[in-house]
Structure 1
Amino acid sequence: MPFLIRPVLRPGALARGPQPVLPAGDGLVLRPWRAEDAPAVHAAFQDPAMHQWHVRSCDSVGEAADWITQWQKGWEDERNAQWAVADAATDELLGRVGLRQILLGDGVAEVAYWTVARARGRGTAVRATTALSRWAFEEIGFHRLELMHSVANPASCRVAAKAGFSLEGTRRSALLHPDGWHDMHLHARVRGD
């Protein structure tokens, strides 16, 4: 049975070319992950704040290397698109930003990010999220990007707002964290916002 609408994005919208490096301004760059990033990813996940807001831990450099392999494969599969957020001058890892749960046909994806402790409070997540959103809308043609965070995480709420993601509502008891079920704020940007 044929669809009455055309897909917003067709297969190959991402994987037809190599994953790009995206400038994020003020000395930040979003770049594809490399195997040599594994020790820095492992170190980032030793921070107690990561344990508070993320549902995964990273117990070894080898586990971080496996994640990086999955992140790289996500680009090829067009399921996820993950970037390392790095200092443009030193290449120091400052965080991660990516598109998860990509639905090309609908032109929808979820934005996710984290930053290392020393990069917090400096606008790193805002600049990375803004740069990724601009690329997703203007270069690829996504229609809608969503962003969710625990309502108990006001810093992520500020990032979402500063990056232009409007608060659309609260998903009650939507994600199990180590300390129990959390209500989650749902933010979104639509192409043209």
Structure 2
Amino acid sequence: MSAPLIDRLTLPTLVGDAVRLRPFSRADLPLVREATTDPLIPLTTSVPAFGDDDACLAYLARQADRLTTGAGYAFAVAERATDVAVGHVYLGLRDVDLGRAAAGYWIARSHRGRGLAGDALRTLVRWAVTVRGIDRLELYVEPWNVASARTATSAGFVREGLLRSWQKVGDERRDMDMYALVSRQA
């Protein structure tokens, strides 16, 4: 197994072809407000289900907290040319002691269909496979979500199977396809 992950996490700025992964800031409040209106994002993330500023600011604070608590790396996905935030990409470290990390992402509806999620995930992966202690990256996609499955495979993830009743989404348990990418260092 790789050397253990360093104790103190720092959030790098990562640059892709069209995106820049960076810390969230108060200037990203419009993005979070838009995400609260999406029918799925609040059900599968910690984005609040309503767009009041206090709830949205609390979401932004939680993203910074993930780093300070060691839970993971939460990046704002920003357009490289304008630095306008368009989404979120995350590397969760809950199982890093087992050599595994989990990736997740979302792009606001008004910015979808331009390949930004794929660029963000590929950018995250290029960096994540260099982090000591991470030998395997995992992510989960609902079977109906063809666009998200395409995003995962474009970043090198391979579908490994169906996990029945894997995750609660809203009030019901849902199946998830598991995708994984094994680091070349493993």
- TM-score band by shorter chain is 0.7 to 0.9
Q: Does residue 28 of structure 1 match 2:19? A: yes
Correspondences of 1:126-141 after superposition (within 5 Å): 126-140=118-132
Among 2, 5, 14, the alignment partner of 1:10 is 5
Length, aligned pairs only:
184
* Structure 1 partner of 2:34: 43
Q: Which runs of 5+ in 1 are unaligned?
A: 1-5
Deviation at 1:88, TM superposition (A): 1.6
Which whole-Å deviations, capped at 9, do the CAs of 1:35-82 have from their partners, x for residues lacking one?
A: 232232122221235357658543222112111111101112211210
CA RMSD of aligned residues (A): 2.2
Identity %: 30
Matches of 2:133 and 2:40, distance apart in 1 = 34
Among 67, 71, 83, the alignment partner of 1:75 is 67
The residue type paired with residue 9 of structure 1 is P
The residue type paired with residue 114 of structure 1 is W
Q: TM-score, normalised by structure 2?
A: 0.88
CA contact (8 A) 2:78 2:86 kept: yes
CA contact (8 A) 1:39 1:61 kept: no
CA contact (8 A) 1:55 1:178 kept: no
Among 58, 67, 83, the alignment partner of 2:49 is 58
CA contact (8 A) 1:51 1:57 kept: yes
Matches of 2:38 and 2:24, distance apart in 1 = 20
Q: TM-score, normalised by structure 1?
A: 0.85
Which whole-Å deviations, capped at 9, do the CAs of 1:79-127 have from their partners, x for residues lacking one?
A: 1210000012211111100112433322311100000112212111111
